[in-house]
Structure 1
Amino acid sequence: MTTLTSILDNDFYKFTMQFAVVKLFPKAKARYHFINRGEHKFPNGFGKLLEEAIQAMAKLKLTKAEKKFFSENCPYIDPTYFDFLEGYRYDPDEVIIQQNGTDLSVQIEGYWYRTILWEVPIMALICELYYTTTFQDRISDAAVIHIAKEKILKYDKLGVTIADFGTRRRHSYFVHNLVVETLKKYGKGTFIGSSNVHLAMVHQIKPIGTHAHEWFMFHAAKYGYKMANHLGLEHWSEVYRGDLGIALADTYTTDVFFKQFDKKLSKLFDGVRHDSGDALLFADKTIQHYVANGIDPLSKTITFSDGLDYEKVEKISTYCKGKIGYSFGIGTNFTNDAGVPAMNIVLKMTDAHPEEGEWTSVIKLSDEPKKHTGNDESIDLAKKTLMIED
């Protein structure tokens, strides 16, 4: 049976956001829905197997060793949070799974501080179970190691820094672990860490991440689209006081973000993360923004994380060299280059319920219009409010 073995087998930014939610929005609620972008066909009984794997997650709990590693590596997080996480248990009743023929439905609902941890592990389980139940054979362990080694050695020659961002759409836990082990072994000075906290602990590397789109999506539900980016970052800085300073820029398009990313925030945050749209155009806009605010772009960093492979990284790093700082987070290209097609799936927040408010649809306006998520009515309203034309 496919199961998770650690509560920390999740992306770092889920925990950093959870801490912020516990502090600032403990009564807020959220809903999430699975989106099968790749129109994958799920075999009979898949939903039941996924349900069993999710039921087993109720047994996961933070160990003393995990608590020690996590707290020592994140001194900017209050000790009370690690005590909270020690007592946290996944509640499978928050997840509703249905299968109709080859279609799979996954819905999550509950307090935001609780449901925030479900997204990444459920996606990882769906991928691993899919390959198992459709009898797709991957390449050998030796081949997985060879590919990961070749990639990190090429990145080393390029002189860039690379992190693993590949939990959610990995081939399997085993492959993910093998890849991280290989990247660490051959990527000294180039491979700087993993978004997966469990694997960061196993391999004694740095857990990496800040926040995700849902942080800003919730702020839009509570404060409106025009204030979402600004207040999202103000609240983040309230909690982290300058740590975890890479701001995600594309929840409501980059152009809107930079209008709300004022001089104070631009100086406070270490840089921005690129996650959709043209990477070189994004670099230009970021550099122009810093220059216009009297800030040396070389004192800031862009973390690129949108569907990267070697060719894209080489192109971006060549373009940005000498203009602005840069680093790269690589996901599926590391953890699902195993001889089978990678899945194209997401699990997104669709509705938020602030403490003083009501259930509100939330959306994301990507820099790639075809990647907008949410209902059409809310997307149209947001575009009108923010004066966005596709």
Structure 2
Amino acid sequence: MPTRALVTLPSILDNDFYKFTMQQGVVRLFQGASARYRFINRGKHSFPPGFAEALRASVDAMAELRLSREEKRFLQVTCPYLDPVYLDFLDGYRYNPEEVHIEQHGDQLQVHIEGLWYRTILWEVPIMSLICELYYIMQNENRISNDEVIQNIRQKIENYRSLGVNIAEFGTRRRYSYEVHRLVVQALRQYGEGSFVGTSNVHMAMAHQTKPIGTHAHEWFMFHAARYGFKMANAMGLENWVRVFRGDLGIALSDTYTTDVFFKQFDKMFSKLFDGVRHDSGDPLQFADKVIAHYQQLGIDPVSKTIIFSDALNYDKVARIAEHCQGRIGMSFGIGTNFTNDAGPKAMNIVIKMTEAHPQDGEWTEVVKLSDEHGKYTGSEQVINLSKTILNID
């Protein structure tokens, strides 16, 4: 079994789009804020000897990444809501590997990230993709052939197209490898006309001439809880998103502190201003019914709005959701691991989450994510219970 491996990423844009959109928000509003993140091994995977050293070398190599002139031009043309000041900032941005702390104790891996939030926000997704790819290399986990990857994706996207639904690729963080990811997007682009609408990966979007897709993640609202308190986290998170993007990027993530709490603050102004919401946990059919009822109660036609479904989707789940929502509300689907890590070996179940935030004029404050299912909670039991008490969650 090899104990040395190196995986290098091809581009600073090999990352999820919402990391860059959130980074613009942080650069604009929270320049002095700091953040801490931690790797969580949900799948209880055992890492081989030397894994930390291999990951360390791969993370160190990221210091060489920088925005090219062509990449900057792509963002200017494709994403006009990324302002010139931010793009100039990104042009000068360099990963600082000293912000990432990696240790291995036996077969268990520890990764911690700490630094200014506007800098550390970009680490999460590429580090997860590196962990996955290195794991399969060092475990000698062989995959299916390139032709099989392409045919597999062709069959999937043709099946989705038969349902008449829009499909985006959301699989960067837990991909089998960069090469498999590249083949997946290539096949989606080639065979997905009429269904495939884009990818969350900005580098892949540029390489395959499709749309980068995303808005914000849970950490946006988690930070706002540290800055403004749990009761104001959703409202201030939405308010500040509007301040930065003025109506663009209008899909709101709803489940950071449960959907029920979110909709208490997603009032008529926000409901009209935002194009829709994203589902990331809990029963998708129940969620759809709640969203439709919310819009109807406010006198808004649900058909004019969209739900982006993105929680562990496969064909059967998408077909069930599409049948339930057809004609009632707009819908689109973000497929992640089922696209980019269906190559033979079992997909990894890992996450990296913000654990603490330090607003510029505040102090280090633990943050939590509640979600609509307990298995996706992150944070200490003490602060989870505190947040539930403050938010009146049973």
State TM-score, norm by structure 1.
0.99
Matched, 1:135 2:145: no
Whichever residue aligns with residue 262 of structure 2, its letter is F
**Whole-angstrom CA distance in 2 between matches of 1:373 and 1:67:** 35
Identify the residue that residue 228 of structure 2 maps to in structure 1. 223
- Per-residue deviation, 1:76: 1.2
Are positions 1:158 and 2:163 aligned together? yes
Give the counterpart letter for 1:322 in structure 2. G
Q: What's 2:127 paired with?
A: 122
**1:167 shift after superposition:** 0.1
Counterpart in 1 of 2:65?
60
Shift of 1:65: 0.3
C-alpha contact (below 8 Å) 2:75/2:82 kept by paired residues: no
Partner of 1:42: 47
Aligned to 1:341: 346
Where structure 2 has 5 or more consecutive residues not aligned to the other structure, the ranges are: 1-5
Q: Which residue is 1:275 aligned to? A: 280
Q: Deviations over 1:284-303 (max 9, x none)?
A: 00001000111000000000
Q: Are residue 69 (structure 1) and residue 42 (structure 2) matched? A: no
Deviations, residues 295-324 of structure 1 (Å, cap 9, x unaligned): 000000000000000000000000000110
Distance 2:370 2:392 in 1: 12
1:86-128 CA-to-partner distances (Å, cap 9, x unmatched) read 1000000000000001000000000000000000000000000
RMSD: 0.5
1:296 aligned to which of 293, 301, 306 = 301
Choose which of 363, 387, 391 in structure 2 pairs with 1:386. 391
CA contact (8 A) 2:216 2:253 kept: yes
Residue matched to 1:109: 114
Query: For residue 223 of structure 1, what is the amino acid of its counterpart?
Result: Y
Counterpart of 2:331 in 1: which secondary structure? strand
Moved more, 364-373 or 213-222: 364-373
- Could you tell me which amino acid in structure 2 is paired with residue 40 of structure 1? H
Match of 1:365 in 2: 370
Could you tell me which of 338, 351, 354 is aligned with 2:356?
A: 351
Map of 1:19 onto structure 2: 24
Aligned to 1:28: 33
Q: Deviations over 1:132-155 (max 9, x none)?
A: 000010011111011000000001
* Residue 196 (structure 2) pairs with residue 179 (structure 1): no
Structure 1 counterpart of 2:194, from 189, 194, 205: 189
Partners of 1:130 and 1:185 in 2: CA distance: 30
* Aligned-pair CA distance for 1:71: 1.4
Task: State the Cα deviation string for residues 314-358 of structure 1 (Å, max 9, x = none).
Answer: 000000001100000000000000011000000000000001110
**Count of matched residue positions in the alignment of Structure 1 and Structure 2:** 389
> In 2, Cα distance between the equivalents of 1:367 and 1:175?
31
What are the ranges of 5 or more consecutive residues in structure 1 without an aligned counterpart?
none
Partner of 2:9: 4
What percentage of residue pairs aligned between the two structures are identical? 66
1:320 aligns with 2:325: yes
What is the aligned counterpart of 2:314 among 292, 309, 316? Answer: 309
Letter of the aligned partner of 1:59 in structure 2?
Answer: E
Task: Give yes or no for the alignment of 1:83 onto 2:88.
Answer: yes
1:375 deviation in Å? 0.7
- Equivalent-residue separation in structure 2 for 1:189 and 1:85 (angstroms): 33
**How many angstroms does 1:218 deviate by?**
0.1
Is 1:202 equivalent to 2:207 in the alignment? yes
SS of the aligned residue for 1:207 comes to coil
2:392 and 2:179 mapped to 1: Cα distance? 46
SS at match of 1:75: coil
Which amino acid in the other structure matches residue 211 of structure 1? Answer: H
Structure 1 residues 166-202: Cα deviation after superposition (integer angstroms, max 9, x where no partner): 0000000000000000000000120000000000000
Q: Secondary structure at the match of 1:32?
A: strand
Distance 1:45 1:202 in 2: 33
**What is the identity, as a one-letter code, of the residue corresponding to 1:158?**
L
SS at match of 1:298: helix
Aligned residues of 2:19 and 2:122 also touching (Cα < 8 A) = yes
Q: Which amino acid aligns with 2:62?
A: M
Is 1:99 the counterpart of 2:78 in the alignment? no
Look up the SS of the partner of 2:198 in the other structure.
strand
Name the SS for the 2:203 alignment partner.
helix
Counterpart CA distance in 2 for 1:188 and 1:260 is 38
Q: Matched residues in 1 for 2:274 and 2:376: separation?
A: 26
The separation in 1 between residues aligned to 2:15 and 2:374, in whole angstroms, is 28
1:259 maps to a residue whose letter is K
Q: Deviations over 1:36-68 (max 9, x none)?
A: 000000000000000000000000000000000
Residues 199-225 of structure 1 show CA distances to partners (whole Å, capped at 9, x for unaligned) of 000001000000000000000000001
1: distance between equivalents of 2:81 and 2:54? 39
In 2, Cα distance between the equivalents of 1:356 and 1:192?
Answer: 42
Structure 1: how far apart are the matches of 2:366 and 2:53?
A: 29
Q: Could you tell me how far apart the structure 1 residues matched to 2:119 and 2:200 are?
A: 20
Name the structure 2 match of 1:232. Answer: 237
Shift of residue 370 of structure 1? Answer: 2.2
- Give the TM-score normalised by the residue count of structure 2: 0.98
Which whole-Å CA distance do the structure 1 matches of 2:142 and 2:99 have between them? 33
